[in-house]
Amino acid sequence: VVLVVDFGAQYAQLIARRVREANVYSEIVPHTMSAADMLAKQPKAVILSGGPASVYAEGAPQVDPALFGAGTPVFGICYGFQAMAAALGGTVAQTGRSEYGRTPLKVAGGGRLLADLPSDLSVWMSHRDAVSAAPAGFEVLAGTTDTPVAAFEDLSVALAGVQWHPEVLHSQLGQQVLENFLFDIAGVKPDWTAANIVDDTVRAVREQVGDKRVLCALSGGVDSAVAAALVQRAIGDQLTCVFVDHGLLRKGEAEQVERDFVAATGVDLKVSDATDRFLGALSGVIDPEEKRKIIGREFIRTFEAAAREVQAEGEVEYLVQGTLYPDVVESGGGEGAANIKSHHNVGGLPEDLKFTLIEPLRALFKDEVRAVGEELGLPSAMVWRQPFPGPGLAIRIVGEVNPARLDLLREADAIAREELTNAGLDRDVWQFPVVLLADVHSVGVQGDGRTYGHPVVLRPVSSEDAMTADWSRLPHELLERISTRITNEVPQVNRVVLDITSKPPGTIEWE
Ligand code: XMP
């Protein structure tokens, strides 16, 4: 493992991801962890992240100097670079000059850390203090106008650092700098590959489960599918999956689970077709939060009933959950976000069912989950599916949900998705909700006559984490094709409109 020590900036997760992209396993640890505890994990290397503090500020996070004398390679970034310099007898000065954003860098010599890099680089800086003298024994490798010591290394002890942020995309050749450290200075091996992740996880699940039985809930999304496929690979028929079909998925998605996923994995699947039950409960309901509550409640009831049937065939000890690494890191970070929408995670755990959890994706980032899904041979439509809300199309019909309206929306949505895929843009767009304004009527002229139908809204957005989003600038020709096809092929839709609102102030979904 490579440890990334979090000094409290938002960069630690990004660094951990970049290390993984180099096929090296990384984990984030808090700066409050003692050097002894870090070293007890026997890391191949340690990376100190950036942070908001000044090394001289009162209460500034410190690095225990014991970390540097242990023979473990350490790489300092930004604050981590300054903290390393200060701990080893260098000088960190409050120069009064700060560097923020894109900054030209002169590489002098380059040493091993910056080997083979051009002498002029554009890098991303964000700092006020600066290292004015490197610790004894360190070679200075690069500098900027305001920061003469912007990178250093001491190969005899495998320590190195940079003032800029190699993990952000705006830093030219940042990934190469990181890999130079990992491979050429720390001598780490790039053995974190999808195939190895599968092997390791399969072994761990087998060990955890023994001969017990395991239950999982499939939602149609990539996380639950990959988690289930991994556990299936580990323990075969000891796993039973339940798929609650609430009748609110998009066109073809239920078949994807029931047919394609089962064919690809051989999973023992129990389908609970609860469409009537969900639609019955939703009848007459317009309020979005009310819809969410009903769907969450019905989901738990349906899942419980199915789980009991599985239990009746023999004791079930474990439940699979598709928790990802960012959830694990963030759940350490406390809560406090305002409740904008009650994000009922359909597929969530009924509270009174007592299972021990298996979380095979707990160490993985989303892109790794996808790579594992491909490695396991899952259908690519599933592996690359965009995020889709648990309550499904119910929160994309503004107005009451009924079968006729669901059919209309399914057709319109399928056209939009198909055209986006044909244009090769489906992996560039974060989500592409299509929303039916079922309670709004619009006048149109189609064929020879006047129509009085409904508008649909296209809501393509780009985002990194769904917390903020921008509307996607899709090519006009693509929008035109989607509009023409929807109005031609979907009866009762006579208008297609484009949502050009960012988040905030709009949310991604309309409800
Ligand atoms: P909003 O609309 O709040 O959505 O900008 C942010 C992300 O969350 C998804 N979403 C949900 N997911 N249950 C879910 O599982 C929900 O009730 C729910 N509401 C919104 C939305 O699709 C987007 O990815």
Which ligand 1 atom lies nearest to the CA of residue 295? Answer: 17
The β-bridge relationship of strands 120-127 and 99-107 is antiparallel
- Whether the per-residue pLDDT at 333 is higher than 60: the answer is no
Distance 259 CA to ligand 1 centre (A): 27
Characterize 148-163 residue by residue with b for buried, 16 or more Cβ atoms within 10 angstroms of its Cβ, and e for exposed: bbbbbbbbebbbbbbb
Residue 433, pLDDT score: 98
Residue 96, pLDDT score: 77
Q: 397-498 has which CATH code?
A: 3.30.300.10
Per-residue pLDDT averaged across 359-370, rounded? Answer: 95
Residue pair 46/37 in contact (Cβ under 8 Å)? The answer is: no
Quick: pLDDT tens for 48-86.
998 877 887 888 888 889 999 999 999 999 999 999 999
Distance 177 CA to ligand 1 centre (A): 37
Q: Is 223 annotated as a binding residue?
A: yes
Distance 296 CA to ligand 1 centre (A): 13
Q: Which residues contact 66 (CB under 8 A, 6 or more apart)?
A: 35, 36, 39
Give the residue, by CA position, lying nearest to ligand 1 atom 17. 343
Residue pair 439/412 in contact (Cβ under 8 Å)? The answer is: no
| Two tokens, residue 33 | 């962890």
The β-bridge relationship of strands 130-133 and 120-127 is unpaired
Give the residue, by CA position, lying nearest to ligand 1 atom 12. 389
Residue 351, pLDDT score: 60
Residue pair 395/344 in contact (Cβ under 8 Å)? The answer is: no
pTM for the whole structure: 0.88
Helix axis angle, 222-235 to 194-209, nearest 10°:
60
Residue entry with tokens 């979907």: 490
Q: Is 76 annotated as a binding residue?
A: no
Quick: pLDDT tens for 280-307.
999 999 999 999 999 999 999 999 999 9
Residue pair 316/284 in contact (Cβ under 8 Å)? The answer is: no
Residue pair 268/238 in contact (Cβ under 8 Å)? The answer is: no
Quick one: which of 492, 288, 282 has its CA closest to 408? 492
Which ligand 1 atom lies nearest to the CA of residue 345? Answer: 15
Per-residue pLDDT averaged across 478-502, rounded? Answer: 97
Q: Is 143 annotated as a binding residue?
A: no
Mean predicted lDDT score pLDDT of the chain: 93
- Choose between 2 and 52: higher pLDDT: 2
**Percentage of residues of the chain with pLDDT beyond 70:** 95
Please indicate whether the domains covering 2-185 and 194-383 agree at the CATH topology level. yes
Per-residue pLDDT averaged across 419-423, rounded? Answer: 97
Per DSSP, helices labelled H in 376-507 are: 380-383, 403-422, 476-489
Give the torsion sign (CA, 90, 92, 93, 98).
Answer: positive
Give the residue, by CA position, lying nearest to ligand 1 atom 3. 507
Distance 283 CA to ligand 1 centre (A): 22
Q: Is 111 helix (H, G, I), strand (E, B) or coil?
A: coil
Give the residue, by CA position, lying nearest to ligand 1 atom 4. 508
Rounded CA separation 175/165 (Å): 10
Residue 447, pLDDT score: 83
The pocket around ligand 1, CB under 6 angstroms, is made up of 292, 340-341, 343-346, 387, 389-391, 431, 466, 503, 507-509
Rounded CA separation 467/283 (Å): 31
Q: Which of the listed residues 295, 341, 386, 457 should we mutate to test ligand 1's pocket, taking the one with most ligand atoms within 8 A of CB?
A: 341
Which ligand 1 atom lies nearest to the CA of residue 507? Answer: 5
Q: Where are the domains of the chain?
A: 2-185, 194-383, 397-498
Rounded CA separation 75/385 (Å): 36
Rounded CA separation 212/230 (Å): 16
Residue entry with tokens 């699947």: 269
Per-residue pLDDT averaged across 256-281, rounded? Answer: 97
Q: Per mean pLDDT, which range of 50-59, 201-210, 313-322, 381-390 is the poorest?
A: 50-59
Quick: pLDDT tens for 165-216.
999 988 999 999 999 999 999 999 999 999 999 999 999 999 999 999 999 9
Output the CA–CA distances (angstroms, integers) from residue 276 to 303, 339, 392, 397, 442, in the order listed. Answer: 15, 30, 15, 17, 30
Residue pair 133/148 in contact (Cβ under 8 Å)? The answer is: no
Q: Is 380 annotated as a binding residue?
A: no
Give the residue, by CA position, lying nearest to ligand 1 atom 10. 389
Q: Which of the listed residues 343, 393, 507 should we mutate to test ligand 1's pocket, taking the one with most ligand atoms within 8 A of CB?
A: 343
Which CATH entry fits the domain spanning 194-383: 1.10.10.10, 1.10.10.520, 3.30.70.270, 3.40.50.620?
3.40.50.620
| Two tokens, residue 171 | 């830093």
Quick: pLDDT tens for 121-168.
999 998 888 999 999 999 999 999 989 999 999 999 999 999 999 999
Give the residue, by CA position, lying nearest to ligand 1 atom 6. 466
**pLDDT category, 339, cuts 50, 70, 90?**
very low
Rounded CA separation 481/479 (Å): 5
Q: What's the angle, vertex CA 296, arms to CA 290 and CA 299, rounded to 5?
A: 135
Q: Is 221 annotated as a binding residue?
A: yes
Give the residue, by CA position, lying nearest to ligand 1 atom 21. 389
Q: Which residues contact 410 (CB under 8 A, 6 or more apart)?
A: 250, 251, 393
Task: Report, as residue numbers or ranges, the catalytic residues.
Answer: 78, 165, 167
The strand ranges marked E within 68-118 are: 74-77, 91-93, 99-107
Report DSSP letters for 326-354, one per residue: HHHHHHTT------SS----TT---TTS-
Residue 350, pLDDT score: 56
Distance 339 CA to ligand 1 centre (A): 12
Quick one: which of 402, 399, 418 has its CA closest to 456? 399
Which ligand 1 atom lies nearest to the CA of residue 340? Answer: 3
CATH class entry, domain 2-185? alpha beta
Q: Which residues contact 152 (CB under 8 A, 6 or more apart)?
A: 85, 131, 134, 135, 138, 139, 140, 141, 160, 161
Q: Is 248 helix (H, G, I), strand (E, B) or coil?
A: coil
| Two tokens, residue 385 | 């599916």
Distance 421 CA to ligand 1 centre (A): 22
Q: Is 213 helix (H, G, I), strand (E, B) or coil?
A: coil
